[in-house]
Structure 1
Amino acid sequence: MKGMTGVVLAGGQSRRFGSPKAFAKFKGKYFFEIAVETLRTVAEDIYIVSHPSLVDCFRQKTVEKVIMDDERYRGQGPLAGIYTVMKKSEAEWIFVLPCDMPYMRPEVAEKLAKYANEKFDAIICAHFGRIQPLVGMYHRRTFEQIEKLLQAKDNRMKSLLHRCHVRYVTEQDFWENEIVFRNVNKPNEFDDIVT
């Protein structure tokens, strides 16, 4: 899609998982690769935002752009990752996905991308009553709000959504199985996931 950049957020510490979740495997693919493949259907450009300790590992396993959060806001979570990519990209929309949703499918990104329009600052998945601020799109006009929140050390995605005109996309808009939006936090949560 014209004017859209994809972002895979892979900077978390994965403490509960016990090893970096991005490099766990599901059906022969790394978790982060599933996110990249999903985004590739809608984004011209893709960035993986990584923790400094994982950058080299990512670069050995992918040709995608691997970056770290802007130094000023490093360690301030997903908002810092979105901010960093907005600084680097000129795209109108930033499509965000976490690296720990192994059941995510390209069709979800395609359906969600259709809701991108000038009336909204953010398009967010909210299937089955669960708001997913890390499965959605942010217009670049949210950049200033993100910067203000980071400066104030308010790293909550919810704080950004409260300041935006948001379109929440639900199962009434398009149907997807609930498992698609499931994060994996522990290796024993699913039998078919290999670490």
Structure 2
Amino acid sequence: MSLKNVMGVILAGGKSRRFGSNKGFALYKGIPFYEWSIRAMKKAVESCVLVTSRELESEYKAIAGMPVIVDDSSFKESGPLGGVYTAMSEMAPAEWYVLLPIDVPYINSSIIEQIIEVDGKGFKAIIPIIEGKKQFLIAAYHYSLKDMIYEQLRSGNYRMQSLVESIDVLYIKEKEMGKNANVSFRNVNTVQDLGMFESEDCDKHHNEH
């Protein structure tokens, strides 16, 4: 896909209930989680936007260094699916929307670039599979899904998996994502997760320092 037809979408509207505080502002190597995601995305795409909640809007607008929009109020707390729909609705249309959450501080821009470089013609989504799991939130979705996403949200079904199960998806195998891709995809759900990953010296795989 062409970079001119790609919109990067940083998903920053979560409640972080298991972490105990807003994960986006937790620190890794002295840098907030959200900043790792923004750095990776900005290196990989020409246009990007951060989607967040009304409660966090002013804070992110002051620090994000990119357009910040608020989740569509019609689908409050609708999770990543609502974030995708908001980006498709509020921003100038792109052909593809590449998602990235703010709880993956080990992310590398090369991961996003590899997703973008895949020929997705004929598919509605491009999704890596890492350690046997489909990575719905570090993936690309086609603009033509907008109406389908709207109808799913309107029905009250906010599950990304439900969307993916009903469309043609191109899956990228882990071995195609490069060495140590599993580290880049690690999301931090709890403070204990962060401590565990640090004890495993994940930083040696993080080549963007």
Same fold judged by TM-score > 0.5?
Answer: yes
5+ residue gaps, structure 2: 200-209
RMSD over aligned Cα, in angstroms? Answer: 1.5
Partner of 1:112 in structure 2? 115
Find the counterpart in structure 1 of residue 58 from structure 2: 56
Q: Percent identity?
A: 35
TM value normalised by structure 1: 0.93
Distance 1:103 1:122 in 2: 23
Gaps of 5+ in 1: none
Counterparts of 1:18 and 1:176, CA distance in 2: 32
Contact 1:6–1:46, Cα closer than 8 Å, also in 2? yes
The aligned residue for residue 141 of structure 2 is: 138
SS in 1 for 2:174: coil
- Segments of 4+ in structure 1 off by > 3 A? none
Give me the whole-angstrom Cα distance separating, in 2, the residues matched to 1:190 and 1:43.
27
How does 1:153-192 map onto structure 2 within 5 Å?
Answer: 153-177=156-180, 178-191=182-195, 192=198
Contact kept in structure 2, 1:133 and 1:157, CA below 8 Å: yes
What is the rounded CA distance, in whole Å, between the counterparts of 2:175 and 2:188 in structure 1?
25
TM-score (norm 2): 0.87
**Inter-partner Cα distance in structure 1 for 2:183 and 2:69:** 29
Q: How many residues matched? A: 193
| Structure 1 or 2: more helix by fraction | 2
Give yes or no for the alignment of 1:4 onto 2:24.
Answer: no
Deviation at 1:103, TM superposition (A): 0.6
Distance between the aligned counterparts of 1:135 and 1:78, measured in 2?
11
Name the amino acid aligned to 2:13: G
The one-letter code sitting in structure 2 at the alignment partner of 1:9 is L
**Would the aligned equivalents of 1:95 and 1:137 in 2 still touch at CA under 8 Å?**
yes
Amino acid at match of 2:40: T
